[in-house]
Structure 1
């Protein structure tokens, strides 16, 4: 089972990596050479892909030239900036974000720009003006191809790279709120469910950094929001470690050191004064985001908890991949958010599933403890859990001449008789009513929010159907009807007297049928 889950995780990782690498691949006229980049009046030649962390915020200008292309769609697969304008031959053909408040989150969204053929020449100049805050670059070269060839695959790419985060965000929050709800009612494992729920919520909040948006408020609001998102990412690790330790009932020696590092990372992030400082610190502190899941993965692996092998295997692959990508400065798809979100969803789902199994088992055991194994009616144990009031009606039933029936036809037939009376009773009462076998051939019907008139109609129908199904003149039922009194014992005692009064009348009467006395 472990190897199968690990294999599925590897397959999912490869599919995701292939999709985010293959779908935005440059085709047609590829614009990867002869670029110049100007930042703060400093111009240099570059080749794409290109990425850097500038020392201050400002405008970056990308320029290149190209011949008349065959296609009509300019695709910019992945540009790192917070607003940009695109010009061809000094004509503005696209404007993304707001240069007055450059707070757009556009790094993970491929732009398709339709080119008007009227502005094209034999020799053309492409100029991209980008507003940088903490980084700038193009991880995949722009290209020009026909709209029909690129629209489908770029749309799929944007769905996987952006929209799917919204789906995972919804799933994460749903799982988190379920775990927090469970923590309210489950005192034994309250801290575990609460911590894992909070960890999942913080991971979901961090995923907002992966969502495409054209505006994130003013600069100060955006800076605070970004600090909070990264703090959520690191903070989720604290709750994750505590929750998993409660689940496994195990800790590692490095636990205190890891938690201290996470606390320090949050403080360092929240005290960043601007985007440049925040980015420089995040580049170093990202290792903290890796440590907490790795701690959990080690715990699961050490104690061989197979049910979490899919999530832990996928997270391990994305974490190793992310570390290598950063170390090698590779222009590869950013998969870290997928890793931690899939891990959180998988972890939460498995724990909720486990809780559901335990809960269902407890329900099964409880139902067994309050159910009469022969007839399927409730037994006396159910009385401890019932809330009875003056609006409830008691109908106490006793089968007449059951001993005669057992002696004549055998106990197996007597058992069938008991099952038949319960079957008949269930045909005439509501789901909210109760049928309880008190012992032997004595049954108590509790009509919730009933009346004596309704009780009389119900017992008349039960008696008639039961006698018709048995077809034995000596077998009948005696019964008593009473509105619930102050407590169960006094109510039962009174309705028992009423029922035995009817039984006594029938016993000493020469008639086969007698009119029951409902009023005692």
Structure 2
């Protein structure tokens, strides 16, 4: 390896910390049989150029103004078909911010195996990561929207949602790219992505605190260091100074993750699914410690930690939200349902509108009170249940039957004319009277088109229903 004018031997894994924009040159002699290719992976820097016997075979980014991202990129170096007993390979790696490193030395294998291996490496380091980013963004946005719908502005869901979105944004820093614009553009984007990462860790910890309803309020002690972290990132004038703040910033993130792990293990016995995010968070702690103690990092590890932890919690929260929603929906239905007949009760009328229904039928059982008095409430209840079943069997899916009073039922019909509504009412009347022919029960009804509102037009239907009752009495006389 050449640093300045000095050549030094290199052992792998290799990492070189920088204090200014630096280009390192690595040179080695290689031999390879015919049909082989070289795999170069585990590079970290912002620009790379690879020469073989003086000829450029790979060049990404600008060595003079490095703004590429080759952290997770695996390269297949094309080699001459005839093979070579001795060739000189030169690798130039440049960085304007973070350490330059090569974690795995270059190696040669046959081209078919090389292509397959690179496909799998890219799948693990890039494809899964991109899929996780998409999942984290989707889950985060869903949690935020659901929290706003439920008007739970400061709930665990919204904090996990924000953490998931911020984590997804921060993870774009680990994606391979040939350029990030000028060095000035790169600095601005780097700051945004770093701030998103630190906010993700803090918001995740706050979400844990809210989720477990912990009263220690650890977040209030970590809010100030997190705000200071954001401020420190914002005021850095260049990429080198920005990278030099990592020790403090990583310690703040470490404390956030320790807080999250504390909450998990504190309540792990109650929720078994917490084991997986706990493992990922512990790996995150170990990765940060490795950076601080051994000065060596695996950048994609932290990306996976943030994404998979927020995804696991996000999915669980969505499942819990769905359960709560279904329970609430079931409760609301039970509140609106008449327990005897399973028809709706009058509560549902507050939710119905003339835009949903255009015709109403008010139905009443004739002489039901006297029948109830003679035969008892048990038989009377059976009659009401039978009548409600007949009504429901004659309605469409979008129609509604409401037990309006003791033996009064209101039917709301959608997209129907008065003549067809009369046919429905008469069909119900005939079926009921045939069923109760021995009990001498009958039905009276009034039909009205809904013009103003259900309540106002219900009065008109009520008058028509009692007119029908009166006509029946007069016929008997």
TM normalised by structure 2 equals 0.88
Q: Which residue of 2 aligns with 1:288?
A: 252
Q: Which residue of 2 aligns with 1:138?
A: 102
Out of 299, 309, 316, the position equivalent to 2:274 is 309
Residue 406 of structure 2 is aligned to residue 443 of structure 1: no
CA apart distance, 1:73: 1.5
Q: Which residue of 2 aligns with 1:392?
A: 358
Distance 1:243 1:414, change over 3 A: same
Q: Is the 8 Å Cα contact of residues 392 and 447 (structure 1) preserved in structure 2?
A: yes
Q: Which residue of 2 aligns with 1:375?
A: 341
Q: Which residue of 2 aligns with 1:25?
A: none
Out of 18, 27, 39, the position equivalent to 1:54 is 18
Q: Secondary structure of the equivalent of 2:404?
A: strand
Which deviations, in whole Å up to 9, do the C-alpha atoms of 1:434-458 show, x marking residues without a partner?
A: 2101233321012245542342233
Distance 1:166 1:416, change over 3 A: farther
| 1:217-228 equivalences in 2 (<5 Å) | 217-228=181-192
CA apart distance, 1:251: 4.4
Q: Quick one: distance in 2 between partners of 1:269 and 1:378?
A: 60
Which deviations, in whole Å up to 9, do the C-alpha atoms of 1:469-497 show, x marking residues without a partner?
A: 66769444221112346565543333222
Cα RMSD, aligned residues only: 3.1
CA apart distance, 1:370: 0.9
Q: Quick one: distance in 2 between partners of 1:276 and 1:390?
A: 65
Q: Which residue of 2 aligns with 1:325?
A: 290
Q: Secondary structure of the equivalent of 2:9?
A: strand
CA apart distance, 1:426: 2.9
CA apart distance, 1:244: 3.5
Gaps of 5+ in 2: none
CA apart distance, 1:507: 3.7
Q: Is the 8 Å Cα contact of residues 70 and 145 (structure 1) preserved in structure 2?
A: no
| Residue range with higher mean Cα deviation, 182-191 or 274-283 | 182-191
CA apart distance, 1:301: 2.9
Q: Quick one: distance in 2 between partners of 1:258 and 1:496?
A: 66
CA apart distance, 1:337: 1.7
Q: Is the 8 Å Cα contact of residues 390 and 483 (structure 1) preserved in structure 2?
A: no
Q: Secondary structure of the equivalent of 1:503?
A: helix
Q: Is the 8 Å Cα contact of residues 206 and 219 (structure 2) preserved in structure 1?
A: no
CA apart distance, 1:318: 1.1
Q: Quick one: distance in 2 between partners of 1:303 and 1:349?
A: 18
Q: Which residue of 1 aligns with 2:90?
A: 127
Q: Secondary structure of the equivalent of 1:306?
A: coil
Q: Is the 8 Å Cα contact of residues 394 and 445 (structure 1) preserved in structure 2?
A: yes
CA apart distance, 1:162: 1.3
Gaps of 5+ in 1: 1-36, 512-520
Q: Secondary structure of the equivalent of 1:502?
A: helix
Q: Which residue of 2 aligns with 1:110?
A: 74
Distance 1:259 1:389, change over 3 A: closer
Q: Is the 8 Å Cα contact of residues 101 and 217 (structure 1) preserved in structure 2?
A: no
Distance 1:237 1:390, change over 3 A: closer
TM normalised by structure 1 equals 0.81
Q: Which residue of 2 aligns with 1:12?
A: none
